[in-house]
Amino acid sequence: MGKPNYDLRPFVAVPGFGREAVSEGWEAIVARLRDTVPAGALLAVECYPGVDGERIRAEISQRWVGATVLDAGEAFQPPDRIERLVAPDLGGDDPVFGFWTRLRLEDFLEPGRTAVLRKRLRDGNGPGPSVVVGPGASLLAPPEAVLVYADLPRWEGQLRQRRGEVDNLGVRNRGEKPSMQYKRSFFIDWRVADRRKRETLDRWGFLLDTTESAAPKLISGAAFRAGLETAARRPFRVVPFFDPGPWGGQWMRRKFGLDPAPTNFAWGFDCVPEENSLLLDFGGKQVEIPAQNLVYGQPGRLLGEPVRARFGAEFPIRFDFLDTMGGSNLSFQVHPDAEYAREHFGLWYTQDESYYLLAAEPDASVYLGCRDGTDPAAMMADLEAAKRGEKAFDAERFAARFPAKAHDHFLIPAGTLHCSGAGSMVLEISATPYIFTFKLWDWGRMGLDGMPRPVNLERGKQVIRWERDASWARAQLINRVSEIARGEGWREERTGLHETEFIETRRHWFRGATPHDTGGAERGGVQVLNLVQGDTAVVESPDRAFEPFEVHYAESFIVPAAVGRYTVRPLGNETAESATIKAFVRSP
């Protein structure tokens, strides 16, 4: 096998800015702030949860003589009051689920403490500027203060939680079980911080990239916003990340050239803007930002106005990988319908999804629906006994199983029992709210932490669509392929998703330039594609509106709605047939 050509660090080059746009390292960062912040101005460094505000305060204090550096956390309510504040949205003892909070960052501040800190910020106590650092800093400083936003991608925040390095918002809980810190972040901290991020993004004077703690980088707000505008007008990729799991395989490691140290890789997050980062390149120097910043900063150009009208500034399509090649079955599971998700979790749409098979071993299979004639009470009793450890769940008795091969497409509308079997490499195409999975059976194995993974029989039985049996799945959910167009050297097929799902998928087989069209920002919508066959392809604009964009096998890429017309063609061996799978939000 040749050297993998999957790009692990894709970037967007930002025209009009050189390397000097990026200040790297604390010495250069503080010097730049000293040189550009007007005398007598106040400075607010708003921090996303997971950013090391203590380090930022220390570096500014050390390098900026005379500066008064304050901790925004001093304005927060005491931890016990914050615990009471967030408790209704944390779901009690549930180890996985809570409710998407409607709290705002202002709710975490204590009025008396806030007034004291604001006065200290105005008065200062030295010849230098007054600086406030931490979550909530932008609420403590007046609107005319210079605003620095210290950011990092959520994935980096999760890694810091696993290492016991960070606390949740307003409390001291580093060292708590990472899954509980993640749950709190997902339902509370990120929702609160993202609301404040959206409100302030247009007035950031600087963006501070803290993803690499040893090599922070600072760019101006103008450079940051220019990067967003550039990305929103051309195809691009986000930075993928990968994670081991109890059922993980070896395909991604071989195909993508991943780290040989972990025992496996189960998940590959190749296009989840809520979690992935976006690299902006300024003359060869790169700054890493959450990809979600692009969704917040350029929602119309990126998503398209019709999609934005339905989902707001949220990216509704997710592409990710599930690798069981050399691994084992995924958990047997079900997703809630939209009504359940709205009532119990505060979501306005749910995780409809599908499995597209990139590769499969000869005996690979997918579990989809229940077997014809299944007695729901008998199946739930078997699952309850398995949960108690009395026996293994009899999957062959109750679950419908279908053979799977490369390029098969299995549709999985919410409420459908499902899981991928061992020996499969799945490109999962789904709606974005992706932790809302009710595991019913995990094949008797332990998680990577040595503990059983939570199953959710009580929730699961409330949403299972029992009428979706093997006969129904065979007719409605497997390889529903129909050709809808063809031209010289290409043909287009509709492959789904199911009528109850809002995502449409199209597969293009091609040997030459293949036409595509997002419909434009005003009337169309964002599209996400993956090169599912072929070594390399190039995405081009018929009007030369963007530079040709090269993609490689299994790479997912985003085409913003603003792009309009574009083509995809093979690069290199044009005698072999290539293929892409494309997803977009279908018109209501």
Sequence letter at residue 114: T
Amino acid at 489: G
Q: Can you read off the two tokens belonging to residue 377?
A: 């009470």
Q: Looking at residues 513-542, what average pLDDT do you find?
A: 97
State the Cα–Cα distance between residues 416 and 21, nearest whole angstrom.
50
- Going across the sheet that includes 578-585, the strands are 482-487, 490-496, 503-510, 578-585, 527-533, 556-559
The Cβ of residue 535 has, within 10 Å, a number of other Cβ atoms equal to 15
- CA gap 50, 179 in Å, rounded: 15
Residue 573 pLDDT > 90, yes or no? no
Picking from 153, 190, 141, the residue whose alpha carbon sits closest to that of residue 277 is 153
SS3 for 563? helix
Q: What is the helix, strand, coil percentage profile of the chain, to 5?
A: 30, 30, 40
Task: Write out the H or E segment, with its range, that includes residue 319.
Answer: strand 317-323
Q: Give me the pLDDT at residue 499, please.
A: 81
Q: Strands (DSSP E) along 422-564, which ranges?
A: 424-431, 438-441, 482-487, 490-496, 503-510, 514-517, 527-533, 536-540, 549-552, 556-559
CB 170 within 8 A of CB 82: yes
Quick one: pLDDT band at residue 1, thresholds 50, 70, 90?
A: very low
For residue 567, list its beta bridge partners.
515, 540
Q: Is 259 exposed, middle or buried (0-12, 13-18, 19+ CB in 10 A)?
A: exposed
Q: What is the pLDDT of residue 321?
A: 98
Evaluate if residue 174 carries a pLDDT over 70. yes
Q: Which of 319, 50, 273 is nearest to 159 (CA)?
A: 50
Whether the Cβ atoms of residue 255 and residue 358 lie closer than 8 Å to each other: no
For position 93, what pLDDT does the model report? 86
329-383 pLDDT per residue, tens: 999 999 999 899 999 998 888 888 999 999 999 999 999 999 999 999 999 999 9
Residue 248: what pLDDT?
Answer: 96
CB 273 within 8 A of CB 292: yes
Residue 429: strand pairing partners: 319, 354
The whole-chain average pLDDT of the chain stands at 95
Residue 504 CB: number of other CB atoms within 10 A? Answer: 17
- Kindly tell me the number of DSSP H helices and DSSP E strands found in the chain: 19, 31
**Domains of the chain from N-terminus onward:** 26-215 (3.40.50.300), 324-476 (2.60.120.10), 482-585 (2.60.120.10)
Across 188-249, the runs of DSSP E, i.e. the strands, are 206-209, 217-220, 241-243
Residue 9: Cβ within 10 Å count? 11
Q: Percentage of the chain with pLDDT > 90?
A: 89
- Whether the Cβ atoms of residue 136 and residue 108 lie closer than 8 Å to each other: yes
> Where do we find the tokens 């150009």?
301
Residues 54-77 as b or e (16 or more Cβ within 10 Å = b)? eebbebbbeebeebbbbebbbbbb
What digits encode the pLDDT tens for the residues 408-467? 999 999 999 999 999 999 999 998 766 889 999 999 887 777 777 889 999 999 999 999
Is the pLDDT reported for residue 282 higher than 70?
yes
Q: What is the pLDDT of residues 386-401, one digit of tens each?
A: 999 999 999 999 999 9
Rounded to whole angstroms, how far apart are CA atoms 200 and 222?
A: 14
CA-wise closest residue to 302 among 230, 202, 232, 237: 232
Tokens 């062959």: give the residue: 396
What would the pLDDT profile of 2-28 be if each residue is shown by its tens digit? Answer: 578 999 999 999 999 999 999 999 999
Tell me: pLDDT of 114 over 70: yes
Query: What's the pLDDT score for residue 433?
Result: 67
pLDDT at 2: 57
- Which of 37-46, 134-143, 242-251, 473-482 is predicted with the least confidence, judged by mean pLDDT? 37-46
Q: How confident is the model at residue 60 (pLDDT cuts 50, 70, 90)?
A: very high
In tens, the pLDDT along 205-223 reads 999 999 999 999 999 999 9
The candidate with the shortest Cα–Cα distance to 356, out of 439, 482, 500, 479, is 479
| Cis previous bond, 208, omega within 30 | no
* Six-digit token string for 341: 């998700």
* Position with higher pLDDT, 433 vs 155: 155
Of all residues in the chain, the percent with pLDDT exceeding 70 is: 99
Higher pLDDT, 573 or 489: 489
